[in-house]
Amino acid sequence: MKTQLALDRLTIEDAIRLARKTEKYIDLIEVGTSLIKEFGMTSISRLKEAFPDKEIVGDIKTIDNAIYEFDLCFNAGSDIATVMGVSPLPTIEACLNSAAKHGKLAMIDLLNTSPTQRDALLKYKDAIFCDHISKDEQEMSGKKKSIDRVNYDPSLKWAVAGGITVDSIKRMIEPRPHILIVGSAITNAEQPEKVAEAFRKIIG
C-alpha cells in the first residue's frame, strides 16, 4: 500500500511545511479541494515544485467541463486528478482521455454513487477508484466513521479515504487497497511526522 497525504484547509506555505515534515513516510501528496478552491492552480504548481519526486494528486472533484479542468490540473503539475463518479459517463470518459493524453491518471471518487453507477464505472480499467466517506458525514453524523472493510475487484486500483487512522488500518481485512488517503490523522497531530511514520510501519 501507498500513503497519500491529503492537505486541506491550509495555506500553501503551511501545506508545504507539513508535507516537508512527513515526506520520507508518504508516497503521494494530495492538493486538497479546499486548497485548489482558495488558491487555484498555483497550489498544485507550488506543491509540485516543492516535491518534484512525489506524485501530486489534484483533488479537483470534476463533475462537468472535464477536458478544460483536467488539462488545467495536469498542466499545473498534477500526476493524478479526481472526477466524481456521479458525473455523466461522457464526463468520466473525457477525464480518462485527458489523463491518457498527458500520460497521467484519473481517480474516480465513488462518493454517493449508487450500486448501479458503480457497476457502470468499473469498466474503466485505467482509472483509480476511491471509496470515500465524506468530511461532512464524518463530522456531522455524531459518530466517528472510517472505512474498515473494502469490497472491491482486486484487479483494479483502489484508494480509500475518510477517517483513516492507525487503528482503522489494523482493522482492515484483506485484500487491502492500493492507496490509503490520510488527512486529519496526520495534519492535526502535534507531531505529524511521528504519525506518518506509524502509518509507514504498519503498511510496510
Confidence of residue 174 (pLDDT cuts 50, 70, 90): low
Confidence of residue 21 (pLDDT cuts 50, 70, 90): very high
**Measured distance CA(105)–CA(30) in Å, rounded:** 13
Fold of the domain built from segment(s) 2-203: TIM Barrel (3.20.20)
pLDDT tens digit sequence for 26-72: 999 999 999 999 999 999 999 999 999 999 999 999 999 999 999 99
* Residue 101, CB-side half-sphere exposure with 13 Å CA sphere: 14
How is 26-87 classified by DSSP, letter by letter?
Answer: -SEEEE-HHHHHHHTHHHHHHHHHH-TTSEEEEEEEE-S-HHHHHHHHHHHT-SEEEEETTS
For the cut 80, the answer to whether the pLDDT of residue 172 exceeds it is no
Cα Rg for the chain, rounded, in angstroms? 16
According to the model, what pLDDT value does residue 167 have? 78
According to the model, what pLDDT value does residue 163 have? 77
Higher pLDDT, 10 or 152: 10
**Measured distance CA(171)–CA(129) in Å, rounded:** 21
Contact status, residue 193 vs residue 22, Cβ threshold 8 Å: yes
- Domain assignments of the chain as residue spans, ordered by start: 2-203
Confidence of residue 75 (pLDDT cuts 50, 70, 90): very high
Residue 70, classed as helix, strand or coil, is helix
Q: Please give the DSSP secondary-structure letter assigned to residue 166.
A: H
Higher pLDDT, 161 or 85: 85
Average pLDDT of the chain to the nearest whole number: 89
Confidence of residue 175 (pLDDT cuts 50, 70, 90): low
Could you tell me the pTM of the whole model? 0.90
Q: Please give the DSSP secondary-structure letter assigned to residue 156.
A: S
Bridge partners (DSSP) of residue 2 are: 179
**Measured distance CA(43)–CA(35) in Å, rounded:** 6
According to the model, what pLDDT value does residue 70 have? 98
